[in-house]
Amino acid sequence: MRKTVRTVLAAAALTAGLVATTAPATAATAQGTPYLPGVLRPSVSQATQDAALAKYYDFWKKNFLTTKCGTGTYAVKAPDADHAFVAEGQGYGMTIAAMMGDKDSQARTIFDGILKFVKAHPSSIDKDLHAAEQNESCKSVNGVDSATDGDLEIAYGLLIADKVWGSTGSVNYKSEALRIIKAIKRSEVNSSTKFMRLADWADDGKYINSSRSSDWMPGHLRAFEKVTGDSFWGQVRTRQEQAVTQLQQQYAPKTGLIPDFVVNTNSTPKPAPADFLEGKDDKYSYNACRDPWRLGVDGITVSGSPAQGQVKKMNTWIQQTTGGDPAKITTGYTLSGSKISGESGQHPCFTASFAIAAMNDTGSQAWLDKLWTRVTTWTPNATDYYGTGITVQVLLILSGNYIAV
């Protein structure tokens, strides 16, 4: 069994093998997927948006990419997790590098280097999936098994790479993506319930009918269905869309928030109990904080997506509860909207993610602009890989540089 514990801002700064930012990103015109009519964007120039993206991307490269794990290898360091390298970090790195492919001459080298690291560390349960955690010595640890969020992102990053660079070079990105997508279906989806499992190890006991809400990425599942021609992925997406609506109606009618973990997926899904796997598992915490982003991007790119209405609920509530002041967004909430006892301060996971929800609501331009200012004036922290990686991906979307497959 494996879990990732957030120790945000508690680890030492990175050292060995960090990548110098010798080729900073350029503030070129956005090259991303067109958004639906009516989708909001920040009320600043495109050049300003691209410059903000370039600033945070360069910080991410300088502070979280390392070459210490082997010749030709790159890896994303995670000083705020319980091990030095975690699967979601490699997935984030691949997605970020592929989407920056037209802005950074190093992007493809970085992407291929992370892929090399991923392939060098297979899960002991399903060799086509990535072992979720490695230590400072770049050795797989803690069960040498997978984490679904990492594999979903790695596969999606490969599909973006195929779209950006094609698959005629030294790496066939599409073939690699198809291999991993097949393994995700085989080992990380409950074929009976059509819910994502937590990992390839989560196949019995209390875990077999559980799921992580931040793994419910409708855009990724649409891409998997498109590239494979397999309607199974559409069934998974539909089931999870239904679950979001049901959880909002039954457990969070005021806020629209959904919990970090969900159980009872074989009947009527409900929030997991506290300490189910990581701690505040019944609450909107450091996993579910990604939900407005993961759902919201589907709402701005796919006509008729249920995600649009789902994140509008979250957006309406967070504006009201903060009085329209993003500085009052805190690090986690109960599903009823109360602040979590013992939590204080802010983290980009929460603040930045809500900006994508705001893009879905035509009446929220002023609120989106405040969120933009808050996100882009945030001083990134060299020990917070999680917050920085999410900020870069949110800025890719806000700036119009997001690439949907």
- 65, containing H or E segment: strand 65-66
What is the end-to-end Cα distance of the chain in Å, rounded?
32
Q: Is 88 a catalytic residue?
A: yes
Catalytic option among 80, 104, 149, 176 = 149
Non-local (6+) Cβ contacts of 84 within 8 A are 77, 78, 134, 135, 136, 138
Handedness of CA 118, 122, 127, 131 (dihedral sign): negative
Catalytic option among 50, 80, 88, 153 = 88
Q: Own/partner pairs for 49-54, CB < 8 Å, 24+ apart?
A: 49/395, 49/398, 49/399, 49/400, 50/399, 50/401, 51/27, 52/376, 52/395, 52/399, 53/25, 53/27, 53/392, 53/395, 53/396, 53/399, 53/401, 54/24, 54/25, 54/26, 54/27, 54/103
DSSP string of 172-215?
-HHHHHHHHHHHHHHHSEETTTTEE-SSTT--SGGGTT-EEGGG
Q: Is 133 a catalytic residue?
A: no
Side-chain-side CA neighbours of residue 76 (13 Å): 33
Catalytic residues: 88, 149
